Amino acid sequence: MAKSALLGIFLSLLILAPLQAAETAQPAATSTKEAPHTVVRKKTVHKKKAAHRAVRRHAPVAKAKTHRRVRHVRTASLHPHERLVRKVELVHGRRRVVYVREAVPAVPAVPPVMSPHEMARWNMSHNSLALASSSALVIDESSSKVLYAKNADVALPMASITKLMTGMVVLDAHQDMNQIIEVTDADVDRIRYSSSRLRVGSRLTRAKMLHIALMSSENRAASALGRNYPGGLPAFVAAMNAKARELGMTSTHYVEPTGLSSDNVASARDLAKLLAAASHYPTLCRYTTDQRYVVRPGHYQLLYQNSNRLVDNPDWDIGIQKTGFINEAGHCLVMQANIDGRPVLMIFLDSQGKYSRLADANRVRHWLERNPPPQSVAVNTRDREG
C-alpha cells in the first residue's frame, strides 16, 4: 500500500514537471514579442521630445520651410510688371521680414552705347536706295543741295581718301614739283606692314610722287611727300588739320598723310567739303582721273593703274575721285561726276565688298537720272589751287 502511494506521487511529478517548464518559458516568449513594441514606444517618445524642444526654440526649421513655400507661390503669381521687395519691420520689439508687391518702374528705352563705326552700321535713316555703304552723301554741287544722306554726320576712318588732303597741302606749299625725292626706310609701313612697289632708295620728282599717290594710292610716295615738307612730317600733319578747319570740316582729324592709320577720321559731310575744295585744283583732278601712268624710280620701270575702274567707263564723266580701303574703314569712294549735265558730289564710306562702293555709285547715278533733285541743306564748297 505504501509502495503504491509512493509510485503515484512519482508519476505525478513526472507529468507536472514539463507543464511547469512550459509555464515558466511562456513569460520569456511574451517578453521577446513585446520587445519590438517597447522600441517603437521609445522612438515615438524621442520624436515627441524633439518636437517639444523645437516648439520651445520657436521652431526655426518649420518656419523656414513655410517661408520658402510662401515666397515661391507669391513669385509665381506675380504680374510681369510687379516685383517682390524685401522689407524688415519691427513688431512688438522683434524684427520681422516681409515681402511686399511693388510695381516695376517704367525705364525709358536707351539705345546701346556704340562706337562711331557701329553707329554707321546701324542705319538710322531711311535707305530707299538700298546702298551697301554704311555712310553716304550725295550733293548737287551747282546748287549745294543735299540729294541723299545716310549717316552723313558720323565720323569714320577714311583710309586713302586722306591723300586728297595730302595733295592739297603739297600744292598749297608751292614747293618745287620737279625736286627729286627719295624713298627711305622711314616711309616703310610700320602700321599695317603693307607692301609697296616703290623700293627703299627709289627716286622720283615730287610731281610724280604725288601722281602715283593720288591715282594708285601709293603709300610710300605719300609718306615721302609729307616727310619732305618744310618742318617735316609733324608740320605736314599740322597743316592738314589746319586746312580741315579752314574748310569747316569739324568732325575731321588727321595723324599721318597716307590713310593707313584708322585715327584719320572724317564724316561724309566733311568729305563732301574736302572733295568740293579739291575739285578746284586742276592738278588733283588730272592726277586722280588718269587711267594709267609709267614711272622710272631707278633702273626699272613701273606701270601704275587707277584704283577706280569707273574712270575707264565711258558712261561716266568723272571730274575728281579717290578710293580707299583699310579693315576699319571698309571700302570707301569719293567722287565728283557730271550727271545729266550737272556736277554731283558722291561720298560712300564703309562699303562691305570690293565692288559694292562702285555699285552704290551706279545706283545713285541711275536714281538721279530718273529723279529731279529735291530741296535740302546747303554745304560750303570753296577753295582753289594755288
Q: What residues are annotated to the active site?
A: 160, 163, 217
How far is Cα 97 from Cα 162, in angstroms, rounded to an integer?
Answer: 66
The grid coordinates listed for 23 are 509555464
Grid-cell match 609697296, residue found: 196
For cell 602715283, name the residue: 212
Whether residue 237 contacts residue 318, with contact meaning beta carbons closer than 8 Å, is answered with no
Q: Cβ(265)–Cβ(155) under 8 Å?
A: yes
Give yes or no for a contact between 297 and 203, defined as CB atoms under 8 angstroms apart. Answer: yes
Question: How far apart (Å, rounded) are the C-alpha atoms in residues 326 and 254?
Answer: 15
Tell me the β-bridge partners of 295: 302
Within a 10 A sphere around the Cβ of 259, how many other Cβ atoms? Answer: 28
Instruction: Tell me if 181 sits within 8 A of 228, measured CB to CB.
Output: yes
Count, residues in the chain: 386
- CB count within 10 Å of CB 255 equals 14
Contact in structure between 371 and 148 (CB atoms under 8 Å)? no
CA atoms within 13 A of residue 226's CA, in its CB half-sphere: 28
